[in-house]
Chain A
Amino acid sequence: MIIKLSQRLLGPVTLALLALTFWLGLWVTPPDKVQGDLVRLLYVHPAIAWVALYVSFGTSVIASCLYLWKRTRSATMDRIGYCAMEVSAIFLALTLITGSIWGRPTWGVWWAWDARLTSTAILLVFALGYLALRRANDDPELRARRSAVFAIIAAINVPIDHFSVDWWHTLHQGATVFTENGNFLVHGSMLVTLFVSLFAFTLLFFWLLRARYRLEVKRDVFYVASLDEALAQRRREGVH
């Protein structure tokens, strides 16, 4: 009952929160003292990066681990791993694009070979590589196993990406929401908008994953049905 209700409400709540982010980010929050209106991009870029790096990539890696573990191995885990990786690739591309649009007026360049930017770009290449690997094999089991292993190997880059701003001197800033003591560096409507956007884009990920998963199930059902139809046709033709 609760699961059904939450599934039904997922879409409308996500859209409402995204609209709220849009309104708060563009009209309600004040311009920043240093960045001016450019700060408005920071209600979108960090939330997209959060989903790309941790939520969607993380979901894909967890599903891949569960697929490789015999007790939890199932087509469901394989599909979740695949669908979450596809969503991650979209979010990673948008992370780089929105970051670049913010970087041009702030840093003076569209792109820099900075540790954070480069490791995020590498993660996007890994995500695209995963999607290519899915198309390289028609045997479902072999494809699922290979892509699960690939996702886990690619995940090594996630902590490197996360800690890159601490390990190297980067153009990209370090943590800017919390201090080392856990106090907030952002306040008022800016902080509220930041959290609303994080929540909205996280819900959007689950909504997109659900839609993408349903598409994958539909494709699998059609594939099996068309295979059965082809076999039946061959039998009618007298081929055994």
Chain B
Amino acid sequence: MGYVAAGYSFAFGGLALYALSIWWRGRRVGR
């Protein structure tokens, strides 16, 4: 089950981090 947890963590966590980076970059425009 460790591999499954790792796979889901990378998949969902990675995409969440990318979404967060878009939001963060948006906030930095003009600063």
Interface residues of A (CB under 8 A from B): 18, 22, 25-26, 37-38, 40-41, 44-45, 48, 87, 90, 93-94, 97-98, 101-102, 104-105, 204, 208, 211-212, 214-215, 218-219, 222
Contact = CB atoms under 8 A, between A and B. Distances in A.
Contacts, number: 66
Given A40-B4, A208-B19, A101 B10 contact: yes
**Chain A interface SS verdict (over half):** helix
Interface of B: 1, 3-4, 6-8, 10-12, 14-15, 18-19, 22-23, 25-26, 29-30
Contacts of B10: 94, 97-98, 101
A22 B4 CA distance: 11
B22 A211 contact: yes
Nearest to B31: A222
Given A38-B3, A222-B29, A22 B8 contact: yes
22 contacts: A18-B12, A22-B12, A37-B4, A40-B7, A41-B7, A45-B7, A48-B11, A87-B18, A93-B14, A94-B11, A94-B15, A98-B7, A98-B10, A101-B3, A101-B6, A104-B3, A204-B15, A208-B22, A212-B22, A215-B22, A215-B25, A222-B29
A41 B7 CA distance: 6
Contact of A90 (B3, B8, B14): B14
Q: 3 nearest interchain CB pairs?
A: A41-B7, A101-B7, A44-B11
Given A44-B8, A44-B11, 8 more contacts: A22-B8, A38-B3, A41-B7, A45-B11, A98-B11, A101-B6, A102-B3, A218-B26
Given A214-B26, A218-B26, A97 B14 contact: yes
Nearest to B6: A101
A215 B26 contact: yes
B18 A41 contact: no
